[in-house]
């Protein structure tokens, strides 16, 4: 079974702090994604990566950056956390880039910024 893990289930930070959210997958997948989930808005893509050290902006990249130094790990960075970044963050991975490939999700990190 594919396993995608995220470093924290719940996180509380203060405005202005630098925040790191970590995601690790164990299936040697090429592609990894970060989404945020908000009530009434569904899931929105923040960033994705299709290879080590490669990254592409998704629909809502403002206020975020990412890092992918190793194939299995994809980090989401909030350079200076703000209250409007309070949300559920979901990481996903997939092997291929074809439309038949399935994305596998981690359990999510619920981030609260005070």
Partner 1 sequence: GNSVTQMEGPVTLSEEAFLTINCTYTATGYPSLFWYVQYPGEGLQLLLKATKADDKGSNKGFEATYRKETTSFHLEKGSVQVSDSAVYFCALWAGGGADGLTFGKGTHLIIQP
Positions in the binding site for partner 1 (CB under 8 A):
4, 30-31, 33, 35, 40-45, 48-50, 56, 58-59, 90, 92, 94, 97-108
Q: How far apart are CA 74 and CA 76, in angstroms?
A: 7
Closest distance between partner 1 and the C-beta of residue 15, in Å?
26
User: What's the farthest any 2 CA atoms get from each other in the chain?
Assistant: 41
Bridge partners of residue 33, in order along the sequence: 48, 92
Closest distance between partner 1 and the C-beta of residue 14, in Å?
24
Is residue 68 within 8 A of residue 57, CB to CB? The reply is no
Q: Taking the CA atoms of 85, 78, 113 and 91 in sequence, report the sign of the dihedral they define.
A: positive
Query: Which C-beta is closer to partner 1: that of 92 or that of 111?
Result: 92
Query: Which C-beta is closer to partner 1: that of 53 or that of 99?
Result: 99
Query: Which C-beta is closer to partner 1: that of 17 or that of 42?
Result: 42
């Amino acid at each position: 079974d594919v396993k995608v893990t995220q470093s924290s289930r719940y996180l509380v930070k203060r405005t202005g702090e630098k925040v790191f959210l970590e995601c690790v997958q164990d299936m040697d997948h090429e592609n990894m994604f970060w989404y945020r989930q908000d009530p009434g808005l569904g899931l929105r893509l923040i960033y994705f990566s299709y290879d080590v050290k490669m990254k592409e902006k998704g629909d809502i990249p403002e206020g975020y950056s990412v890092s992918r130094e190793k194939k299995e790990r994809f980090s989401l960075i909030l350079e200076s956390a703000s209250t409007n970044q309070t949300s559920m963050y979901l990481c996903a991975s997939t092997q291929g880039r074809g439309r038949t490939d399935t994305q596998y999700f981690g359990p999510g990190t619920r981030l609260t910024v005070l």
